[in-house]
Amino acid sequence: MENYQSQIEIIRNYEELAQRKMGELCGHIPNYMEKIYNMDMTEITTSRIKGLISVYQEVNENLAKIINNTS
């Protein structure tokens, strides 16, 4: 934790950005965040699932960059 203290704000910004993007994709679905976290994809179309995967991949790539820059 101490090694990444300076990066926490950047990580929080990525998290907020990811949540906004997920909201744009699935915000019309009641309790969409809970459904995503529980992997209940019955109301989410294939194209939106692909969009969610892209959001998670982007977050993971950005986090990997942060980790590599602080190591």
* Per-residue pLDDT tens listing for the chain (71 residues): 666 677 888 888 999 999 999 999 999 999 999 999 999 999 999 999 999 999 999 999 988 988 787 66
pLDDT at 15: 92
pLDDT at 5: 73
Chain centre distance of CA 31: 16
Q: Which two tokens stand for residue 68?
A: 């590599």
Q: What is the pTM of this model?
A: 0.82
pLDDT at 4: 64
pLDDT at 31: 96
